[in-house]
Amino acid sequence: MTVNILFAAHEKRWAQYETPLRTALDAIGIDYVLSTSHPPEDVDYIVYAPNSDVQDFTPYTRLKAVLNLWAGVETAVHNPTLKVPFARMVDAEGLTQGMVEWVTGHTLRHHLGMDAHIVNPDHVWTAEAPPVAADRPVGILGLGELGTACGQALAALGFPVSGWARSAKQIDGITAYHGDDGLREILSTSEIVILLLPSTPATENILNAETLSLLPKGAVIINPGRGQLIDDDALIAALDSGQAGHATLDVFRVEPLPPGHPYWAHPKVTVTPHIASETRPPSASRAIAENIRRGEAGEPFLHLVDRDAGY
Ligand code: NAP
């Protein structure tokens, strides 16, 4: 029987995804029709982005799964009409690789103190070498697909890496913590803190006045996770007091970051416009096709979202 697949992400994504999706779907050997406009009652799978026009899944009566093109699912996970399996994107070649490169680059920038030599209008000769990575403890909040890959890349460079997750873990190269005590431990020892948690009620404002006060003075915060993880006023106060040395932020509560937001002009904040990593159409298409193959073969879907946990 023909499998009907609705592509329900933004129009400009269709131009990027149509060919790689067809290539990946051809490779799994199913009879399919991929389109941006199937009658809802005929649709078996939806390739989805949470900013899609499709917000009410009720008319999709034979839907088997919704397959997200994004890793973050917070704006779709609590949709009461989305009752079928909902898979998020895990894309090692695009999302994960991009995040590893962005996090490693920004960590090395702060570790090596590169800014002092890039912008040096008075031509000051400060012959002070930075410490080696082994002397710069790094903490990663979130040890999922992205946090683990970033942590292991930093550990391979020699950084002592600690990480924090909801569950207990054993990960090569990373000292893993969980629970409130684990959070306190990791924050009180990390000179660079990287946020790779999802946005959920439990993680909102995880960096606040109290938790920021645990950090070693002058610690650097790098946030490619979600804007909701940070209490913005508390972070600005910590930067102003010197408790935090710098914040490199890729994600914000409101995006694009509004003109005039204090982050834009703050001398200790680097703003990047939600570009830390992006799904890569060829590999993401293979991930989507693999889940459709699984669905048709009666095998469990990969990377299902836990609706209760919210990620
Ligand atoms: P993931 O695989 O679902 O990992 C999430 C991690 O967070 C897991 O280790 C999880 O713990 C931990 N966690 C969740 N809730 C927690 C809590 N209450 N306390 C402690 N730990 C908690 O997600 P991912 O693929 O690594 O992606 C992480 C986030 O990165 C996404 O949600 C998205 O917001 C963001 N992202 C940003 C960009 C960008 O360009 N800036 C791109 C992609 C993704 P367990 O392991 O115990 O479940």
Task: Quote the pLDDT of residue 127.
Answer: 87
In a domain, 311, yes or no: no
169 and 73 share one domain: no
125-149 residue pLDDT tens: 988 999 999 999 999 999 999 999 9
Residue with tokens 């490693």: 104
74-94 residue pLDDT tens: 999 999 999 999 999 999 999
221 and 86 share one domain: no
Residue 4 Cβ < 6 Å to ligand 1: no
100 and 223 share one domain: yes
Query: In the predicted model, is pLDDT for residue 184 greater than 90?
Result: yes
223 and 240 share one domain: yes
In a domain, 306, yes or no: no
Task: Quote the pLDDT of residue 97.
Answer: 98
Residue 226 Cβ < 6 Å to ligand 1: yes
In a domain, 310, yes or no: no
166 and 18 share one domain: no
10-30 residue pLDDT tens: 889 999 999 999 999 999 999
Establish whether 226 is a catalytic residue: yes
Per DSSP bridges, beta strands 32-35 and 174-178 are: unpaired
In a domain, 304, yes or no: no
Mean pLDDT of all residues in 116-121: 93
Question: What mean pLDDT value characterizes the chain?
Answer: 97
Distance 258 CA to ligand 1 centre (A): 25
Q: Percent of the chain beyond pLDDT 90?
A: 98
In a domain, 305, yes or no: no
Mean pLDDT of all residues in 44-61: 97
Task: Quote the pLDDT of residue 126.
Answer: 87
Atom 5 in ligand 1: residue holding the nearest Cα: 144
Distance 276 CA to ligand 1 centre (A): 14
267 and 290 share one domain: no
Residue 147 Cβ < 6 Å to ligand 1: yes
61 and 177 share one domain: no
Query: In the predicted model, is pLDDT for residue 182 greater than 90?
Result: yes
Residue 149 Cβ < 6 Å to ligand 1: no
Cα 138 from Cα 182, distance rounded (Å): 14
46 and 28 share one domain: yes
Distance 159 CA to ligand 1 centre (A): 21
SS3 235: helix
241 and 99 share one domain: yes
SS3 7: strand
Q: Going by C-beta distance under 8 Å and a sequence separation of 6 or more, which residues neighbour residue 58?
A: 81
Task: Quote the pLDDT of residue 109.
Answer: 98
Residue with tokens 């008075």: 122
In a domain, 303, yes or no: no
185 and 107 share one domain: yes
Atom 36 in ligand 1: residue holding the nearest Cα: 225
57 and 110 share one domain: no
Q: CB–CB of 149/101 below 8 Å?
A: no
Smallest Cα–Cα separation from 248: which of 228, 276, 290, 216? 276
Give exposure, 176-215, as e/b (b: 16+ Cβ within 10 Å): bbbeeebbebbbebbbbbbbbbbbbeebbebbbeebbebb
Q: Where are any strands of DSSP class E within 79-137? A: 86-87
List the catalytic residue out of 38, 226, 246, 280. 226
213-245 residue pLDDT tens: 999 999 999 999 999 999 999 999 999 999 999
Binned at pLDDT 50, 70 and 90, residue 181 comes out as very high
Establish whether 106 is a catalytic residue: no
236-276 residue pLDDT tens: 999 999 999 999 999 999 999 999 999 999 999 999 999 99
Residue 277 Cβ < 6 Å to ligand 1: yes
Q: How far is CA 306 from CA 75, 138, 207, 309, in A?
A: 14, 28, 24, 5
In a domain, 242, yes or no: yes
Residue 239 Cβ < 6 Å to ligand 1: no
Which pair of tokens denotes residue 216? 């070693």
Q: Which domain holds residue 243?
A: 92-271
Distance 225 CA to ligand 1 centre (A): 7
Find the CATH number of the domain harbouring 36: 3.40.50.720
Count up the domains in the chain and report the number: 2
pTM for the full model? 0.96
Atom 23 in ligand 1: residue holding the nearest Cα: 144
Cα 291 from Cα 202, distance rounded (Å): 29
In a domain, 302, yes or no: no
Cα 86 from Cα 82, distance rounded (Å): 8
Task: Quote the pLDDT of residue 195.
Answer: 99
Which pair of tokens denotes residue 131? 């410490």
Query: At 153, which amino acid appears?
Result: A
192 and 231 share one domain: yes
Query: In the predicted model, is pLDDT for residue 69 greater than 90?
Result: yes
